[in-house]
Amino acid sequence: MKIYFCDKCNQSIPLKDIESNRISIDSGRIYCEKCAPRPTGHRRTFSGWSTLLLMLLLGAGVGAGVMAVWGDEIMGNQGPGSTKDRLGKLERAIGELRVETETRLRTVETNMEETPAADGSVGRLARVIGGVRANAEALQDLRRRLDGLADDLRTQLANQEKARAAFAKSIEERIDLLEQRLDDQRVAEDLDDFRARIEDLEQVRDALESRLRALERSGTVGVPVAKEADSGSTVLDPETESRFQKILSQLESADPATRFNAVVDLASIPGRRSEEALAKALDDKADYVRIAALQNLADLSAKWAIPRIIPKLKDENIFVRETAISSLETLTGQPLKLDASDPSSKIQAKIREMESWWKNNKGRILGS
């Protein structure tokens, strides 16, 4: 927006002063209301003399007319010419006076509008007209600038609204994309976990099938390999003892598949020594080895191993927990009323219940 300054005091002129026409423009300069030039004594004297001059001219014209008509009578002389001639002279004199008066009036008006005064300022009428014209132009320029500013603001607001809507839409799309990625990631993790479990089960299945085929070829399935001694311990023949020692060494192998095969082989050698080796395999790192050991202990009716099986109810692997529940139900002959997916608090309560049950029923179970 354009700002106007006073050419005398160099102060900014308020917009309200421009709108109310309280400024002055003189010789191309702008003055505030306080600094506007005042009419001088010379100008006031000039106006007074002009009025006096007009009065004298009018008086002279009237006097000339009177003298032309009644001058001879007033002077006491009867001049030549008729009354018609005198009237004609009077009309001509009045006409000349009118022309002269109009000429002088135009001159006076011109002087009032355009003639510079002694201090260099133009006439008051010209100053007023010029100030009004300049103010009108300034106001029109101000209105144009305000209209342009308003249009710019409307355009900026519209652009900002569009940008805000676009930004909000992009944020929503990003949130949807992130939620989709999170869901996809969770599904992928679940699928990976299921694949790992399936691979473990397939390894267990392959190992079982391999051992079954080996046992079928050797003809040892269902064939007693040892006899009970009078002391209650299992006495193995030399060949079976050698094989048993080899199986024990395989339980210490770093290969999970080798340890799994050893657990499967132990099921073919009944006796407390084999059962104790299976109980030790309950702590194996591979979950499918622990599952095989639980199944074999249940198949061998190793009831003494119940307190070793009870802690497996809280194993980290759900399949191990399921096998432990099944083995305990087989060895105790009663349902546990527990699911492998139950919360840990319920599982802990069941473990305490089974430990108390074993203390109360240990003698009866082992004596049966």
* 3 state DSSP class of 26: strand
The whole-number pLDDT of residue 42 equals 46
* 3 state DSSP class of 231: coil
Higher-pLDDT residue of 367 and 55 is 367
Contacts of 70 (CB under 8 A, 6+ apart): none
Statement: residue 361 has pLDDT above 80: yes
Please name which of 297, 308, 288, 307 lies closest in space to residue 357, comparing C-alpha atoms: 307
Q: What is the dihedral of CA 153, 155, 156, 158, to 10 degrees?
A: 120
Q: Is residue 108 part of a domain?
A: no
pLDDT digits (tens, 9 = 90+) for 141-163: 766 776 777 777 778 778 878 88
The crossing angle, in degrees rounded to 10, of helices 256-266 and 287-299 is 0
Domain tally, the chain:
1
The span from the CA of 165 to the CA of 268, in Å, is: 75
Which pairing describes strands 29-31 and 226-228: parallel, antiparallel, or unpaired? unpaired
**CA 147: distance to chain centroid?**
33
Distances (CA, A) of 351 to 304, 342, 358: 17, 13, 11
Q: How many CB atoms lie within 10 A of CB 358?
A: 14
Q: Is residue 294 part of a domain?
A: yes
Q: Is residue 142 part of a domain?
A: no
pTM attached to this predicted model:
0.41
Give the structural domain span for 352.
224-367
Q: Is residue 314 part of a domain?
A: yes
Percent above pLDDT 90 for the chain: 23
For residues 296-300, give the mean pLDDT.
Answer: 91
Q: Is residue 38 part of a domain?
A: no
Q: Is residue 264 part of a domain?
A: yes
Contacts by residues 226-230 (CB-CB < 8 Å, ≥ 24 positions apart) = 226/269, 226/270, 226/271
The whole-number pLDDT of residue 359 equals 92
The span from the CA of 63 to the CA of 57, in Å, is: 10
At 348, which CATH number?
1.25.10.10
pLDDT digits (tens, 9 = 90+) for 246-296: 999 999 999 998 999 999 888 888 888 889 999 999 999 999 899 999 999
The whole-number pLDDT of residue 7 equals 80
Q: Are 226 and 235 in contact (CB under 8 A)?
A: yes
The crossing angle, in degrees rounded to 10, of helices 272-280 and 287-299 is 150
Q: Is residue 262 part of a domain?
A: yes
